[in-house]
Amino acid sequence: MALVTHIAFIGGTGPEGRGLAYRFALAGHEITIGSRKAERAAEAAVEVAEHAAGATVRGVENADAAQNAGLIVLTVPHTAQPASLPALNDLVKDKIVVSTGVPMEFAGGRAAIVPLPEGSAAEQAQALLPDARVIGAFQNLGAAKLWKDGSALDQDVIVCGDDDDAKQEVMTLSEEIAGIRAVDGGALANARYVEAITALLVSVNRNYKKTTGVRIAGL
């Protein structure tokens, strides 16, 4: 198991947060679901705990979640980051913060990446949380497959970050999800390419009526 055992999800009440929380609960982690509203967090926590049969899952407001966990996963829409992340900076000092965000919108019937001044949702998160060690990961894992059951996903998680120890920790963590291989994607600035792949996957999913993921060949 990765060094960190207690994982919190900021905005963990949405499908991506619940899906990842479920998978890490299955792997034996203590889980905290964060929300703007403690009641919503508590409801989501009950659902995840029931789905993961007997897991330890709590639901609290985002700030409490960020304060108490050893590793934080951001599962809010990227549009929510500028208003919601700065208040968490002191609470996540020196902690690993994983950015799952994809700055995507639907325009003219297709998924497209919204350019951000920082270059990616992950770099935006790092700018808003300067005291955290931000790592980009999980952007290509669709929520529905994460949540459906605990079966192997047979996909890569490309992990990007500027802190090598933090990146290694997130790679180890990723491989606790059944069927995941972690791939070192280099610097945090490369998260923009990983995020953009998700927009491509949305089109591929639509064309083939499948839920697809990423596998890097040649490794």
Ligand X SMILES: NC(=O)c1ccc[n+]([C@@H]2O[C@H](COP(=O)([O-])OP(=O)(O)OC[C@H]3O[C@@H](n4cnc5c(N)ncnc54)[C@H](OP(=O)(O)O)[C@@H]3O)[C@@H](O)[C@H]2O)c1
- Interaction site with ligand X (CB under 6 A): 11, 13-17, 35-37, 40, 75-78, 80, 84, 100-102, 139, 141-143, 198
Closest residue to ligand X, based on beta-carbon distance? 14
Nearer to ligand X among residue 13 and residue 29 (C-beta): 13
At closest approach, how far in Å is the CB of 180 from ligand X?
14
Q: Please report, for residues 9, 29, 93, 119, 182, the alpha-carbon distance to residue 69 in angstroms, rounded to integers and kept in the order given.
A: 9, 11, 12, 28, 23
Say how far residue 132 (Cα) sits from the centre of its chain: 15
Nearer to ligand X among residue 17 and residue 150 (C-beta): 17
At closest approach, how far in Å is the CB of 159 from ligand X?
14
At closest approach, how far in Å is the CB of 143 from ligand X?
3
Name residue 9's beta-bridge partners.
Answer: 33, 73
Q: What is the signed CA dihedral for 160, 167, 44, 140, rounded to 10 degrees? A: 30
SS (H, E, C) 149-211: CCCCCCEEEEEEECCHHHHHHHHHHHCCCCCEEEEECCCHHHHHHHHHHHHHHHHHHHHHCCC
Nearer to ligand X among residue 3 and residue 87 (C-beta): 87
Nearer to ligand X among residue 84 and residue 174 (C-beta): 84
Nearer to ligand X among residue 58 and residue 78 (C-beta): 78
At closest approach, how far in Å is the CB of 65 from ligand X?
11
Q: What six digits make up the tokens of 167?
A: 């990146």
Nearer to ligand X among residue 26 and residue 157 (C-beta): 157
At closest approach, how far in Å is the CB of 119 from ligand X?
16
At closest approach, how far in Å is the CB of 13 from ligand X?
4
Say how far residue 186 (Cα) sits from the centre of its chain: 17
